[in-house]
Amino acid sequence: MDTEYVGIDVSKDNLDAAAYVSGKKWRLPNSDAGINKLIDIFREISPALVVMEATGGYETPAAYELNKAQIPFAVINPRESRDFAKATKKLAKTDTIDARVLAHFAAAIKPEPHPMADEQTQELEVILARRRQVIEMLTAEKNRLHTARKPVIAAINAHIDYLEKELSGTDSSLKGRIAESPVQQERYKLLHSVPGVGDRIAATLVIDLPELGKVNNKQIATLVGVAPLNHDSGSKRGKCSPWGGRPQVRSALYMAALVASRCNPVISSLYVRLCAMGKAKKVALVACMHKLLTIMNSMLRHKTFWNYEPLPASR
């Protein structure tokens, strides 16, 4: 029997699944009952891999049940499947076609399955995501206040006060949940010892970058999106530049590097040296992000607090 691969096109209301080898397809509601029925189908056909796109959270219930049923799955960036569809000349777009494209992607590319984090980590991810939402709303309201007219100023100020209390409560909840886990608390304390890495940045790295300290420096830089990638073709030699990665982690790392360029002796000296060499400030800051990330990667690997001595290089 040929190895089977399955793609699932996820929407708010439905799950459209398609098998690559047999060509079978299924449409079920994106509900507890529909997901359980799909899991029963998968148990019968035993797919080698199930692939879904990240759809803003609509895929999470299905991913959770697949993980629970120990069915290998991968959640991919929608850009990957779109590029694959173009490359295979699948230009039409329906839910069924999208599911078939994902099944073909699974069979051809075989992305590495990514088991979901434990329940405690998932709860932390939800709280951290909520914190980002509150900050976005708070920033928007403060921006509106600059051009607000008198009739709405009081209402905007009241909403700002509410959001600031919400943010404070979210921060307390986040810190409390991290403290409940000895492993994450240790990682948090190690990262927090780095000059330039504050409470919120340490929490973001602990939750959104669990690979930190578990892979080599090149891999972690690629995961975050601060590794310089080649842009060469034929005789053309383009500039190496970072691309892809995890935007939330990269944003946190940017703020850490920005602060560290002023208060962290290692990062500050690197920043000054690069600027003195004529590098653009933004380029120098990206180099500082890369340096800071590799330092923290080594710290977590060796379970070492911040110090000025160079840590063992990663192989």
> Over the stretch 209-253, which tens digit does the pLDDT of each residue have?
988 999 999 999 988 988 765 444 555 554 555 555 788 999 999
Burial level of 64, CB count in 10 A (0-12/13-18/19+)? middle
**Which regions in the chain score pLDDT beneath 50?**
230-232, 238, 315
Q: Does domain 5-109 have CATH number 3.60.9.10?
A: no
Contacts 24+ apart (CB under 8 A), 39-43: 39/65, 39/66, 39/69, 39/71, 41/17, 42/6, 42/66, 42/69, 42/71, 43/69, 43/71
* Residue type, position 92, single letter: A
Neighbours of 140 (CB within 10 A): 12
State residue 235's pLDDT score: 53
How far separated are the first and last CA of the chain, in Å rounded? 41
User: How do 14-19 and 232-233 pair as beta strands?
Assistant: unpaired
80: tokens are 């990957």
Percent of the chain with pLDDT over 70: 92
pLDDT at 77: 87
* pLDDT, tens only, 254-268: 999 999 999 999 999
- Please report the pLDDT score of residue 242 as a whole number: 58
